[in-house]
A and B are shown apart, each in its own frame.
Chain A
Amino acid sequence: MDFELTEDQETIRKAVVGLLRDFDDRYWMEKDRDHRFPEEFYAAVANGGWLGLTIPEEYGGHGLGITEATLLLEEVARSGGGMNAASSIHMSIFGMQPVVVHGSEELKRRTLPRVATGDLHVCFGVTEPEAGLDTANITTFARRNGDHYVVNGRKVWISKAVESEKILLLTRTTKVDEVARRTDGMTLFLTDLDRDRIDVRPIPKMGRNAVTSNELFIDELRVPVEDRVGEEGQGFRYLLDGLNPERMLIAAEALGIGRVALEKAVSYGNERLVFGRPIGMNQAIQFPLADSLARLDAAELILRKATWLYDNGRPCGREANTAKYLCADAGFTAADRALQTHGGMGYSEEYHVARYFREARLMKIAPISQEMILNYLGSHTLGMPRSY
């Protein structure tokens, strides 16, 4: 058993920390307040060559694994950027995996190098009003018409759609009642987010306001066959490959928020004097923070195990799900306690923990709720009857 990061991984971590120094809490507070995409941050990450971290070298990336990707995103979140920072680059870091694994050579050459340089922003279009976690229930339909498809439908909670040039779009090419298995008949595309055919409407929301979350209304969108990822009807299976890595990335981001929230709480607890002594001297303040440290450390270990398993080609469903569950919980709890430690000041945006709190809450819902993780562990890991 080895708990040390490799030299390269440690280097990545330190380099990212150095890169992020220019983007302090004030930067993120203003971006969040003004609902503005963090272009300067995105450019710095892209110029540092980090966006292509997991994209294969032949397509302009570094070909590194999920372990490195989680280290990067944990540091990004921990820098104070939280989910605003993480979500602005999340898709580029690992979201292109279905294309890397299943896309045609031509599609990969056309898109991946541009993702790696940061030139191409991509969003992920899966969820719909009537199909959140029940992906097989999507109704956005792609009808084949010669050398292209015509797509109609509606998507919701599509992060970064406003800023994106392309969308990784899941559609049905066969209706759900015409397939043998509900997960059959779905097709994935990486195509242009054509504003003439797709109406993008940002959803007002509680937090992570520097990166939009959107509703998409797709009307007669023409998609060339060349933009199809892999085979027709296999889209759901291609997405499955990315589910565990996504859980791990989200876990790392939640962990990062928890870490920065805890750091803020500790320093406030040490500085703030009430009744003639630092409030951190009170056990009622100190113990919850110590408890959060223990929970974050434990959650980090299962995350490291999950990424190690994935990078070594081993099954990791149990660990990836557990990591997301524990990191989301530990991250949110730490943010909640940081807010409580700050008292009234915690409610002010000036102290930043309110922003962490709003963003950490999201991690218990997205991209999969804690309850669905328990469903997975209950039925897949423990072998108990499926309840839904």
Chain B
Amino acid sequence: MEAEEFLLVRDMFRAFAVRFRIGSADEVKPTARTTAQEALGELGLAGLRRSSPPAATVQECALLAEEHGRQPLTTSLVGTVLLAPELLRLLERAEPSAHGGTPTIALAHDLRFPGSAPDSSPSRLLAWDCEGADSALCVTPDGTVTALELGATAPGIDLLRDIRSTSSESPARVLGRLDAQEYRHWQAYALVMMSSELVGAAGSFVRLSVEYARERRQYGRAIGSFQAVQHLLADATVLVEACTSATRYAAWCLDNESPARALTAARVAKAEVNASALDAVYTGMQVFGGIAQTWEHIAHLYLRKVRLGAMTLATTADLLTTLAQPELTR
């Protein structure tokens, strides 16, 4: 995509985000969610990578995921707009029109990649980030992609992200199979998009904390003038920079390097994000003080998103264990 073209897409997305972001947890309502998701659908972003070659690079998609993470939005961007369409794109190379409707992706019951958990039977899979979705696509470690119907809403701590069980009544329908390269690409892509959204959330929350530290006065001066507050925020900024760089590099690898190398970079990025993005949000919470502990404040929405996000797809333990292995055996 030309730079100007991407800037237009990004501005359009930003306008959407500003319009549909919520002001507090009380605004998370089914009708509002549906309306916002429909508005997101109208932006047509799911088709960004449908053409061959794709109109948008992975890096551009990652930047949009960052944007989505910046605001408290109830919409599903990563699941239904970025991940599932990418999966279908990979499948459609061999088998056009493998699946219709609006799928999201299915994860293991602990929200890791299917096959990571000891019990990843289809009846225990979850449709993740499924606002507006009508099915869920599951990719098993051998590359097999199946479509599952959605079940009931599942409880989750992330109030912004809809999660549902998958239906155990209708059988999973096999859509096709990714080869080893495609499976690596898929995992790397998923890790990068997830990481990007978390990077956006952490960066945005730190920025909000900085603004608060500028405005909030104690002992006759802005609390941000206290070194103990200022340095906390400087540290948090460094953390966000670290995970931003790691994630953007992984996105660049997906556009420019082999899937194996991209997957390594994506694993590094997600491991960094799992630790640093969460620490940055903790720091922001500390700076906000008591106000951040209230239900009305949006702080807990960011905390929930990043806390759960740090465990989604791959935990730090999963990633570090894999990264510690020789590259050929991963």
Q: In residues 193-236 of chain B, which contact A (Cβ within 8 Å)?
A: 226-228, 231
B227: chain A residues at CB < 8 Å are 282-284, 287
Q: In residues 248-307 of chain A, which contact B (Cβ within 8 Å)?
A: 282-284, 287
Give A279 Cβ to nearest chain B Cβ, in Å: 11
User: Who on chain B is nearest to A284 by CB?
Assistant: B227
Interface size on B, residues (CB 8 A): 4
Q: What separation, in Å, do the CA atoms of A378 and B226 have in the docked complex? A: 40
Give A148 Cβ to nearest chain B Cβ, in Å: 51
Categorize the interface residue count of chain A: under 10
Give A59 Cβ to nearest chain B Cβ, in Å: 53
The DSSP consensus for interface residues of chain A is helix
Give B110 Cβ to nearest chain A Cβ, in Å: 21
User: Who on chain A is nearest to B226 by CB?
Assistant: A283
Q: What separation, in Å, do the CA atoms of A95 and B169 have in the docked complex? A: 71
User: Who on chain A is nearest to B229 by CB?
Assistant: A283
A284: chain B residues at CB < 8 Å are 227-228, 231
B228: chain A residues at CB < 8 Å are 283-284, 287
Give A222 Cβ to nearest chain B Cβ, in Å: 49
Give B218 Cβ to nearest chain A Cβ, in Å: 13
Give the interface centre of B226, B227, B231 by most chain A CB atoms within 10 Å. Answer: B227
Give A95 Cβ to nearest chain B Cβ, in Å: 39
Q: What separation, in Å, do the CA atoms of A282 and B229 have in the docked complex? A: 12
A283: chain B residues at CB < 8 Å are 226-228, 231
Q: What separation, in Å, do the CA atoms of A375 and B32 have in the docked complex? A: 51
Q: What separation, in Å, do the CA atoms of A282 and B226 have in the docked complex? A: 9
Q: What separation, in Å, do the CA atoms of A287 and B235 have in the docked complex? A: 15
A287: chain B residues at CB < 8 Å are 227-228
Give B286 Cβ to nearest chain A Cβ, in Å: 13
User: Who on chain B is nearest to A282 by CB?
Assistant: B227
Q: What separation, in Å, do the CA atoms of A154 and B228 have in the docked complex? A: 52
Give B282 Cβ to nearest chain A Cβ, in Å: 17
B226: chain A residues at CB < 8 Å are 283
Q: In residues 115-173 of chain A, which contact B (Cβ within 8 Å)?
A: none
Give A291 Cβ to nearest chain B Cβ, in Å: 10
| Chain B positions 145 through 189: 1 when the CB is less than 8 Å from some CB of chain A, otherwise 0 | 000000000000000000000000000000000000000000000
Query: Which residue numbers of A lie inside 8 Å of B, CB to CB?
Result: 282-284, 287
10 examples of A-B residue contacts, CB within 8 angstroms? A282-B227, A283-B226, A283-B227, A283-B228, A283-B231, A284-B227, A284-B228, A284-B231, A287-B227, A287-B228
Query: Which residue numbers of B lie inside 8 Å of A, CB to CB?
Result: 226-228, 231
Q: Which 7 A-B pairs have the closest CB atoms?
A: A283-B227, A283-B228, A284-B227, A287-B228, A284-B231, A282-B227, A283-B226
7 extra interchain contacts, Cβ-Cβ under 8 A, other than A283-B226, A283-B231, A284-B228?
A: A282-B227, A283-B227, A283-B228, A284-B227, A284-B231, A287-B227, A287-B228
